[in-house]
Amino acid sequence: MTTISFATPILPGKLETWRRFNQETLGTMAEGHDALNQRAGVTRELAWLQQTPEGDMAIIFMEVSRPDQLFAELATSDDPYAAWFRQQTLDIHGLDLTQIADAPMPELAFNWSA
């Protein structure tokens, strides 16, 4: 199992849109979200809001068995939910998921456990 964690800005004026996006993802769009996560091997997903003097950030944590499949699904799937998710991510974060394969993976800098 691979863990992925990253921070992404919430664009100015998009905080309420981000909150609605989360509600829809777990509400009216849950079936599509569950299906995408199943295809991509995502077993856990968490999101936090971090408010900073520089602006709002979304902190995302995922457990994924097939990261390559996740990135392929997010970038290229023609599934209606995936297309909706891509558009929301672009609108809220300015992040173009069709270009995600070119982005570097987050680097684990510290790992401690008892």
Instruction: State whether residue 112 is helix, strand or coil.
Output: coil
**pLDDT for the residue numbered 56:** 98
Are the CB atoms for 23 and 37 separated by under 8 Å?
Answer: no
**How confident is the model over 11-17, as a mean pLDDT?**
98
Backbone angles phi, psi at 107, to 5 degrees: -100, 125
Residues 63, 68: Cα–Cα separation, whole Å: 13
Mean pLDDT (the chain) is: 93
Sorted by sequence, the CB contacts under 8 Å of residue 71 that are 6+ apart come out as 100, 101
**pLDDT for the residue numbered 103:** 72
Q: Would the pLDDT of 104 be above 80?
A: no
Instruction: Output the pTM of the full model.
Output: 0.89
Structural tokens at position 74: 């997010």
Q: What domains are there in the chain, each with its CATH number?
A: 2-100 (3.30.70)
pLDDT band (50, 70, 90) for residue 65: very high
